[in-house]
Chain A
């Protein structure tokens, strides 16, 4: 009897624990995704009661209006920067996984930028790149002249992508380091006995050992470069051709009141990120993340 009683109660009980989490999940994730799909087929301005249906017009506009489409080209700078950043992080993670004097100090120095507030970073680098600022003064030391780093459309995206490398290398570095340190150390010892070089150890022990993390980091970096917003928005406001997809979307929605078009843009971005994620899961199947 008591066993049965308990069993029946368990039927409704989990839902008591899940009620609030599921409500929040629905209200702040699923309702927005569904309503966004609906807005994207209208020319709604976000305020009016009328939401005129326009079908696929917004999507056609995104892919045919050059000003809307060229923001994807800006993403390319960040994609290249993301892979540069992964390489740099992997190099230092490998280096510091061996015994290095002041290892913890270097670890902290490399990682700390990741913890710094984004707005603070934006100001730090506005100061860094300003005429006669930090970078120009450094160049003067070595006899080179300054440059309009953020004012010149030819260099603005390199400068901004550089900031993103400065900001995120530390995170990648720490995650790589954690993964490398979980590789059993007798593997290194055995390869040392066999006279393996550093590069051979990296190529045949470290890289295969951290493959899932490299895969995960590449996907996060790629998805991240598609959704860049904070730093360019604060530093240039999207001027001089530094407008990214999210800046464009936010401006469409909240400055030009084109919620319909902005929703379609957001949907395109969502589809791209999901596509990248899907490709990554195919390339780097990782049993830890597929069975939560």
Chain B
């Protein structure tokens, strides 16, 4: 009994020297920020579980009378064609991410492992391109897609996602530099071709960089609105973003259905976030600072 106070004081004194604790003001601001982040989303979840009459009578903060009323979800999925949207998004995601990995790793391999004339020029070409924000050139990119006859196809989105992603090239380039050249040399002495080295030695070693690219690119494509909106106007080519956008027309007054659509779109993101938190943080840090 008598030793407890002294020992706590002792550790407290010790702690101030290394890690100080946050004060009450800090916690108040943190809780406030947490509420600001959550409340706008939480009220949408509440709205999605109410029926039309209930929605009209209720305040946004009233709980739904039946927590298991999924009628709005059924309407959103069927009338909102969200199944097709998920399918299209998945197809585009698979092809674009695979393409990005190959384009990025091949570029990084060629630029880092070979000494050739114009190497500096190639590197410069990618560097300058990284300064051009894609949103500024869409007017002219649209004409390119049109000339290629790709307007209103999934290929257009896949090519644009794959061909204009400079960030992943940098992620691969940074990473490949840390792989010792001795490994290539050893394989070369054993008679492996350059392609075999890329395929069997380099690519497997790039796994952490690939994970980063998959996460950063995957999130970006899942959430992208602009490219599918401009290049794939057909209904049956709707992706997650554009299909949800179309809710504005038929469901404009039905907030409970729109809310269900929002929850359907956000839920996979939440699940992926909870499962991959650490990798997402690391991936974004690697992606944003190049």
A residues sitting closer than 8 Å to B (CB atoms) are 6, 9-11, 13-15, 17-18, 20-22, 24-25, 27-33, 35-36, 39, 46, 88, 91-92, 95-96, 98-101, 105-106, 108-113, 115-120, 123-125, 127-128, 130, 132-134, 137, 166, 170-171, 174-175, 178, 189, 192-193, 198, 213, 216, 220, 223, 227, 229-230, 234, 246, 249-250, 253-254, 259, 262-263, 266-267, 269-270, 273-274, 277, 288-289, 292
Q: When the two chains form the complex, which single residue of B133, B135, B143 contacts A46, counting CB atoms closer than 8 Å? A: B143
Our pick among A15, A120, A198, A289 for the contact of B244 (Cβ within 8 Å) is A120
A117-B223 contact, Cβ under 8 Å, with A22-B122, A98-B20:
yes
Contact check, B103 vs A21: say whether CB atoms are below 8 A apart: yes
* B residues in contact with A170, CB < 8 Å: 37
29 contacts between A and B (CB under 8 A): A10-B114, A11-B116, A14-B110, A14-B114, A17-B109, A18-B111, A21-B103, A21-B104, A24-B103, A27-B163, A31-B140, A32-B140, A35-B144, A36-B137, A39-B140, A95-B29, A100-B22, A115-B269, A115-B280, A116-B269, A118-B223, A120-B266, A132-B59, A137-B60, A174-B281, A174-B284, A193-B17, A253-B139, A269-B136
Chain B interface main SS type: helix
Please report which residues of chain B, range 180-198, place their CB below 8 angstroms from some CB of chain A when the two chains form the complex: 188, 194, 198
Tell whether, in the assembled complex, residue A117 and residue B241 are in contact, meaning their CB atoms are under 8 Å apart. yes
Residues of B within 8 A of A (CB): 16-22, 26-27, 29-30, 33-34, 36-41, 43-44, 47, 59-61, 103-104, 106-107, 109-111, 114-116, 119, 122-123, 125-127, 129, 131-133, 135-144, 159-160, 162-164, 169-170, 173-174, 188, 194, 198, 219, 222-223, 225-226, 230, 240-242, 244-245, 247-248, 255, 258-259, 261-262, 265-266, 269-270, 273, 277, 280-281, 284-285, 288-290
**Are B140 and A263 touching (Cβ within 8 A)?**
yes
Residue of B18, B22, B33, B133 near A189 (CB, 8 A) is B18
> A261 — nearest CB in chain B belongs to which residue?
B139
The A interface, classified by DSSP as helix, strand, loop or mixed, is helix
Are the C-beta atoms of B37 and A109 separated by less than 8 Å? yes
Pairwise interchain contact B194-A13, C-beta atoms closer than 8 A: yes
| Cα–Cα, bound, A174→B216 (Å) | 14
| Complex CA–CA separation, A104 to B109 (angstroms) | 37
Closest chain A residue to B109, Cβ basis: A17
**Is the beta-carbon distance between B141 and A192 smaller than 8 angstroms?**
no
In the bound complex, CA of A270 to CA of B133 (Å): 7
Chain A residues with Cβ below 8 Å from B261 are: 123
Judging by beta carbons under 8 Å apart, are A28 and B244 in contact? no
Give the residue among B40, B126, B131, B262 with the most A Cβ atoms within 10 A: B40
Q: By the criterion CB–CB under 8 Å, are B222 and A117 in contact?
A: yes
Bound Cα distance A171, B280 (Å):
11
Chain B proximity of A260: nearest CB distance (Å): 10
Cα distance A275–B58 when bound, in Å? Answer: 51
A92 CA to B65 CA in the complex, in Å?
37
- For A127, the chain B residues whose CB sits under 8 A away are 40, 43-44, 47, 60, 255, 258-259
Report the bound CA distance from A270 to B135 in whole Å. 9
Question: Given the complex, which residues of B lie within 8 Å of A134, measured CB to CB?
Answer: 39-40, 43, 60-61
Residues of A within 8 Å of B47, CB to CB, are 127
